[in-house]
Structures are given as C-alpha cells and as structure tokens.
A and B are shown apart, each in its own frame.
Chain A
C-alpha cells in the first residue's frame, strides 16, 4: 500500500493539476494518464454514479493497489510488463469530428477482410468507427427490439443506464459472482469499468430474441473495461451474443473485461462470444492484450449456464469463462475454439466448480495454433465433497499447423467425492498426411482441404453457436488461417 501512495503522489507532483482535484472538473473529456483514487472518482462522477457504487469502485481500487505484486504470472504468456500508470482510464466517446470521414481513410487490409467476410458496406463503416448518420439502419432496428423486449419485461441496457434506472438490481448482483477483489484484472476492472451490458430476465420469461451487443445502442464505445451482468430469474431463458466476427480496431491496448452471470432455479443462460480484436501484425507488433474474467453462478436448482467462445483475435488472450455449479442438478458447459496465428498467444480454458448434487459439466475445447503462435488450454474441474453424483466430461484437442508454433494443455482435476465421475481426454497432433491426401485425391486444393478439415475439427463447438454466428465463424476461421498453412 505504501508504495502505491508514493506512486500516486509522484504522479500528482508530476502532473500538478491533480492536486486541486479535477474531480469537480466534469467538463474534461479525457482523464489524464495514470491511475489513482482521483481518476476512479472522476470516472464515477462522469457517469453520475450513486455513492455506493463509487465506494465499491474505491474499495476495488484499494484492493488492486495491495495486489500490485500479484499480477498473474502463471499463464503461458510472454508480454512486456504493462505500465498501468502510463495508460488512460477514461475517455469520452470520440466525437464525429475526430473520426475517419469515409472508408477511403481506412486501412485497406482491414477492408479486404471485411470484404471476405461479406460484411455490408454500411456495417463496414460502423465497424471501422466512421461517423454515421443518425438514420443508421440498425439503430431503428434496435429501437424496435427494445420495445419488444420491454413488453415481456426484459431489461437490456447499458450498465451505466442500469445503475441509474435499476440501482436495486445492480447493487444486488454486481460483484456477487466476481467479487471486487477476485483477481488482479477483475479488481482493476471493478475500479475503472467503463460500461457494458445489463440484462435482467424476469421470472418465467423466455427472452423472445437473441440479445446481442451489436444491437445495443452505444455499444460501439463500451471501451476497454467492459462490465456485463446478466441475471436470469426462475425459469427464464436468455441467449446472449457478444462481439462479432469482423475484426475490431481499438486504440486501447489493454482490455480487462468482467462478465457475471446469475442463473436461478430452472433458468438457462447461453452466452456466445466471437472475439476478434486486432491481433497485431505478422511481426507481433501492436494488438490487444485481452484479460477477461467471465464467471457464471448456477445458483438455482436445475439451472444451466453455457459458454461458447470463438477466440481468434487479440495479441494476448487470458480468459477462463467458468461455472460455479451451486444448485443441485445444475449444468455447466464450455465450448471453445481458440485460434492463434502469427505471434498471437492465448491462454484460455474454463473452471467448473461442482458444489451441488448431480451437477454436470461438459468441456469441449479446440485449439488451433499456426505461425509462431502459442495456444494453451488451462482448465480446472473441481468436485467438492458434497457434490454427489457429479459428472464431468472434458475433451481438449489441439491442432498444430506448422512447426514453429506450440500447443499446450494444462488441466487441473480435483475430486473430493467418491460418487463423482470425472473424465478428461486430450490430444495434440497435426493434420495428417492421410487426411490431406484423401481430400486432394478427390480434387480439393490444399487450401480447401485444410479449411474443410479445420472446420470439421471445430464443428462440435460451432454447432453450439446461434446459426448466424456459426456461419460467420466458419468464414472467419477460413480468413484467419488463410496463408497460415504453406
């Protein structure tokens, strides 16, 4: 703690203006570089947050300061030390004047990728961050969606809006799955989170449509410290989609998101992610550092949480979507495809904590490494003493494309209950000559053959994705691995 006060003071003396507390200076568009209590207050004030939330952020910030030495080093990731004091923690959304004026100003390579993915021109503009007219199609679509959702009582809004409109719900559930002091990155997020989604599904409601960040107004600028909370009351169901297949550019290199899911009795949450942040160029320059804490609590009996992720972007991925299976008969699922190319590094997997009786979990993880990248599956299956008849099945397969990359599998399996049945299997290999020969014998080019085999390898996961996503994911896989195989 002492060192941090010192650091904060040093920064204060260097920047001068801090001393007089810009807390009151609400007009500032961007917080100065660095992180200290004033910045946390500033963010909170900017969002006109209630006192309890500011207090919560500050608690998190203080916990984070005490954790300074605890930045996780156990992951199989190599990256230069992050200077947390040399980053911006708040910046208002870019004004239209600062944005690129038209697609002509956008990196042609990015446009080529959009083209391959078949993204309509209008959407390309939105994705590339071009200022668009107010009559942008999807906004009107979104409005219609909102009306429909309101009819059935589903709350789906930005977190900042939820804090004002539904403070009792946010207060009750925020940090209840991922406590503010959970881990280094989650704690940082708790202190400075920018925005994210808030979803509340009332009792017995089956959400009439798939909720997607894509259709949420303001979604474009959620920022680097996203905070999402989804609560599914008794007997409800929701499917939530995060991200999109198109590559996303972001000026901020450090991302630390937190996602919390709560499922009550008989509720089901399906959370699908396609992550395609900028991975850096072929020499590993640039790219997003993505440190995500995602956790779901199956609080109720017969509840179910299912994570599906397709991870192709980011220079560094550190992400372990987990399920705490508290309720009896609850079910946790994790389906993942993680692809790394060039110099990307991914250390991702899941945790399944079996607490309740008859809890079941399934883990299907597919890792594809190409170029000079390193992909790691890291997972924990833990069966506590009371988890009678718990059941886990884990399958982790890794595919290596090229001899310069690495694929690693590190599962932790702990069982404290005799009646539990835990099974894990993993394989690592490359595409066999036989498979390739079979395809080329039937007239497929090498590239088509590889794409066919890779997509077959991922099929078990893709079939868990909502249909539109699955189609895009298949295309995305082809684009990602294009040229990766020689």
Chain B
C-alpha cells in the first residue's frame, strides 16, 4: 500500500474548466493560491491509512469515483425542515446543496437580514465576500501557504465554491448565535461540495457560531468543508457544530483555529450523520493565557465510520486546554478519536487535559483511540485518559434492583453519558437543537420504549 492515492485523471483534465466557474477567479491572489494548492494536492494525492493521521480512516471510497463540484445545483428547497431553531433567535446564513440561498437569509430578503446585524459585523456567503470585500479576505483566506497536516485542505482551497464568512470588528459582541445552515436535499446527488468558512474575530469581540449540516435526502454526496478561524487577543468564540448529513453522504471537515492572547475558544461538535465522517480540528494557541476547550460526541450506528482528530498546539506559555470526546457506537459502526497535544519548548505553565470515552452498544461495534502527548516543556500539567467499554454492569444492576426495566436502564445510562456533554452548551437555541438530535437518536436506538 502506498502512502497516497493519486488524484484521478478526470480531476486533472477537468480542473481548468471547473476553475473558470469558481468565485473570485478574477482575483489574482486567489487564483494563485488555488493553482498552488491544486498543484500540491495533485502531487500528493489522497492520504491512505499509511499516513499516520489517517491510520484509522480509509478515504478510498472518495477516490473511486469522480465527485464533480456541485455547481449549478438548484438552490430552491421546498419548505425548510422544521427544526427547533427559531429564525428570530439566530442570524442565519442558509446554503442549499452547497450554494448560498440568498433570498432565504433569516427567511427574509437578504438586505433585511444584514440590517438586523449590529455594526461591525459582516456576515455573508463567501462568493459575496469575494465580490464586495476581497481586500479583507486576501490576508486571511487560504493564506497559510503549506499547512502541516493538510489532508484534503488543499483540495478544498483549489475547489472551494461557497461558504460562510463572518468578520467581527474589535469589541463587537453578537448576542444571538450565528447559524451557518448547510442543507442538502435529494438534488445533491453525488456532487462534491467544497465549502470554505471563514471566521475572524477582532480584539475583544465575542460571538457564538452554530455550524449546522443537515441532509434531508438519501444522497451519497461529499461535503468537503474547511473552516478557518482567527481569534485576535481577548476574543471569545463559542463554536458549535451539528453534523447530521444523509446516511450515505461523506463528510470531511477540517477546522483550523489560530488563537491570540487571552482569547477563549470553545468548540463542541456532535456527529450523527454520514457514512464516513471525519472532523479535524487544529488549534494553534499563539498567545499567553488562552483558554481552549474542544469537546464532541459521536453517535454512530449502522455501518457509519466517524473520526475526530484534533491537534492542540501549545505554542506559548500559560495556556489552558481541555478536551472531552465521547462516542456511543451501535450496530457495526466504528469510531475513531485521535488527539494530539503538543507543548512546544518554553510553553511553560501549560495545563492540558484530555479525555476520550467510548461506549460500545453492540457486539460488532468498534472504537479506536489514539491520544498523544508530545511535551517539550517541563513545568506543565498534562494528562490524557481513554476508555472503551460497554455500559457499567453495576450501574445497570442498580437500576434493575430498583425495578427499572433493562432497556429503560440502558437508555437512561446512555443518555446520561451523552447529556453530560450536551448540557454544557450554553446557548439555549443551539442547546435545544442538539438536545433534540440526541433524543431522536436515542429514540431510534430504543424504539420500543426505553422510556420510564
């Protein structure tokens, strides 16, 4: 087995044609970055399991056929699926099948929605941002020339078509969460959606972002999303993500966050959908006194494969980081957690704690964990823990001895395992959506009750 699978010939042949249709193609800096990224990706190809960061996740299905960029897909849904997110409680940016649905921002005409935003906040689709504020994007978008653990990031740079852009000027506080709503319908087919989000928070600004993927069809499309985050000093960003793509879809996501002094970055990702899902998070702690929390849940069943891979890079002293990732694995599903914590030389007084817990519900379920500590400074407090097991027999016995039916007990214990994390979500609107998603999942696992 080789380390990479080369990019298919069709990609090479059709890229020039696709490139023409990409937004911002007339911007020289962007055209250059795209060309460089495509060249590098074409040279390297898709990583295989021989590449350490992809040890447990096989991208083969993505290389077997051509996923053409889904340009030109109809962006006209029927009714929006009912979900608990009241449009009045959020600033919403809606995308359907990878295209911005401008008429539907906040469910109203676009200008109205923008007016509702406080001063100093720019919220718009990437295509619009490249037209209206290209100079703001130039120093930020795909500006990291050669990322270390690139994965599919460069393919994304080469092909990115749309995404959400949120720019906060210094000191701005957004009260309502921003809802990046990526909806895929039956029309998505087997298209590829190379999405690129950009979140930039100026000094001392604060916002809550809810990145939401929902598949209403049964399509086997591929979402390849990259989210670039830059937090200036003292900024606070609460970043939530719900991945609930169609069960046949592929969801490959990479989030890179560059965090400044005393900033707070909080990431919570819940994965429910897709047949193959990968969530990469790289957080660079580039200032003193940063507080970074990464948390997440996998709820996997059927033949789903879910992978969360994080890199916490402590580059400066006196930062705190904590990570908790949990998986509940049913049927023949498989989950992966790889969490690297890097403490660079001189990053003294670092505190980094990590926990990964996996609950196996069925005989064929499996879980893999690879926590990793790389410590080059001595005055640190670092730890990690990982467990894989089924539900605790003693806890079950406790329930049974009090007359509670076994399936009820199992459901309650599983719920407790998950809810502990969901309850940490502060924003009530986002919490409601995540909680509902969890409850629905549990309801499907114990369809015949499991309710006290």
Q: Residues on A close to B: CB < 8 A?
A: 74, 383, 385, 398, 400-430
* A418→B345 contact, CB < 8 A: no
Query: Do residues A424 and B387 form an inter-chain contact, with CB atoms below 8 A?
Result: yes
Interface contact B370-A413, CB-CB below 8 Å: yes
Question: How many B residues touch the partner, as a band?
Answer: 35 or more
The complex places the Cα of A407 from the Cα of B364 at a distance, in Å, of 36
Q: Is B436 on the interface with A (CB-CB < 8 A)?
A: no
Sample (18) of A-B pairs whose CB atoms are under 8 Å apart: A74-B52, A400-B380, A403-B379, A408-B375, A411-B370, A412-B369, A413-B368, A413-B369, A415-B366, A418-B362, A422-B388, A423-B386, A424-B384, A425-B386, A426-B371, A426-B373, A428-B375, A429-B380
Q: How far is the CB of B389 from chain A (nearest CB, A)?
A: 4
Report B81 CB to chain A, min CB distance, Å.
Answer: 34
Indicate if the CB atoms of A430 and B380 lie closer than 8 Å. yes
Across-interface contacts of B52 in A (CB, < 8 A): 74
A426 to B384, CA, bound (A): 5
CB neighbours (8 Å) of A428 from chain B are: 373, 375, 380, 382-383
Given the complex of chains A and B, what is the CA–CA distance between A398 and B374 in angstroms?
11
Asked if residues A411 and B360 are in contact (CB atoms below 8 Å), the reply is no
List, in ascending order, chain A residues with CB within 8 A of B367's CB. 414-415
A413 CA to B365 CA, complexed, in Å: 14
B360, B382, B385, B388: the one within 8 Å of A429 (CB)? B382
Q: Shortest distance in angstroms between B376's beta carbon and chain A's nearest beta carbon?
A: 5
Do residues A420 and B389 form an inter-chain contact, with CB atoms below 8 A?
A: yes
Cross-chain contact B388 with A415 (CB below 8 angstroms): yes
Q: Which of B52, B358, B360 has the most CB of A within 10 A?
A: B360
Distance between B57 CB and nearest chain A CB, rounded to angstroms:
13
Nearest chain B CB to A10 CB, angstrom units: 28
Q: Known contacts A403-B345, A422-B389, A424-B387; decide if A430 and B371 are in contact (CB<8 Å).
A: no
Q: Which residues of A contact B377 (CB under 8 A)?
A: 400, 403
What CA separation (Å) do A383 and B390 show in the bound complex?
A: 13
With beta carbons under 8 angstroms apart, the residue of B348, B365, B384, B385 that contacts A418 is B365
Interface residue ranges of B328-375 to A (CB < 8 Å): 345-346, 348, 358, 360-375
Alpha-carbon separation in the docked complex, A74 to B372 (Å): 14
Cα–Cα distance between A99 and B383 once the two chains are bound (Å): 50
Which has the most chain A C-beta neighbours within 10 Å: B367, B374, B376, B388?
Answer: B388
Most buried by B among A412, A415, A427: A415
Q: B386 touching A406 by the CB < 8 A rule?
A: no
B379 closest partner in A (C-beta) = A430
Instruction: Describe A's contact surface by its main secondary structure.
Output: strand
Contact status of A420 and B374, CB under 8 A, knowing A403-B348, A415-B360, A425-B383: no
Which B residues, 382 to 422, have Cβ-Cβ distances below 8 Å to chain A?
A: 382-390
Q: A407-B373, A425-B383, A427-B381 are in contact. List 12 more A-B contacts (CB 8 A).
A: A398-B373, A403-B348, A403-B378, A407-B375, A411-B371, A411-B372, A411-B386, A412-B369, A423-B387, A425-B386, A428-B380, A430-B379
Residue from A385, A400, A401, A413 within 8 A of B388 (CB atoms)? A413
Closest chain-B Cβ to A399's Cβ sits at a distance in Å of: 9
Indicate if the CB atoms of A403 and B360 lie closer than 8 Å.
Answer: no
- Closest CB in chain A relative to B339 CB, distance in Å: 11
Distance, CA A427 to CA B388, complexed state (A): 19
* B152-186 to A contact mask, C-beta < 8 Å, 1/0: 00000000000000000000000000000000000
Q: Which residue of B lies closest to A398 (CB)?
A: B375
Closest to A423 in B: B387
Complex alpha-carbon distance, A340 and B46, angstroms? 38
Question: Bound state CA distance, A223 and B329, in angstroms?
Answer: 50
- Complex: A400 Cα to B379 Cα, angstroms: 8
Assess whether B372 is in contact with A410, with CB atoms less than 8 Å apart. yes
User: Smallest CB-CB separation from A405: which chain B residue?
Assistant: B378
> Measured between C-beta atoms, what is the minimum distance from A376 to chain B in Å?
9
Closest CB pairs A-B (n = 4) = A400-B378, A415-B388, A413-B369, A418-B360
Pair A406/B373 contact, Cβ less than 8 Å: no
Q: Are B390 and A418 interface neighbours, CB within 8 A?
A: yes
| Distance of A68 from chain B, by nearest CB (Å) | 16
| A408 proximity list for chain B (CB < 8 A) | 372-375
Task: Specify which chain A residues have a CB less than 8 angstroms from the CB of B362 in the assembled complex.
Answer: 418
Q: With A74-B52, A423-B387, A424-B386 given, is the CB distance from A416 to B366 under 8 Å? A: yes
Assess A402 versus B378: contact at CB under 8 Å? Given A415-B366, A418-B361. yes
A414 close to B368 (CB less than 8 A): yes
B252 to A: closest C-beta gap in Å:
22
The smallest C-beta distance from A336 to any residue of chain B, in angstroms, reads 16
Cα A133 to Cα B376 with chains together (Å): 50
How far is A423 from B358 in the complex, measured between Cα atoms in Å? 10
B388 touches A420 (CB 8 A): yes
List the A side residues contacting B383 at CB < 8 Å.
425-428
Closest Cβ–Cβ distance, residue B375 to chain A (whole Å): 5
A376's nearest neighbour on chain B, judged by CB, is B374
CB of A291, distance to nearest CB on chain B (Å): 20
**Beta-carbon contact of A403 and B346 below 8 Å:** yes
**Contacts of A409 on B, CB cut-off 8 Å?**
371-373, 384
How distant is B19 from chain A, measured CB to nearest CB, in Å?
A: 36
Whether the pair B370, A412 counts as a contact (CB closer than 8 A) is yes
CA distance in complex: A429, B378 (Å) = 6
Roughly how many angstroms separate A409 CA and B380 CA in the complex, as a whole number? 14
Point out the residues of chain B lying under 8 angstroms from A427, CB to CB: 381-383
Which residue of chain A has its CB nearest to the CB of B337?
A413
- Asked whether, in the complex, the Cβ of B368 is within 8 Å of the Cβ of A421, the reply is no
Query: In the complex, which residues 47-81 of chain B have their Cβ closer than 8 Å to any Cβ of chain A?
Result: 52
Docked Cα-Cα span, A35 to B371, in Å, equals 40
- Taking the closest CB of chain B, its distance from the CB of A75, in whole angstroms, is 12
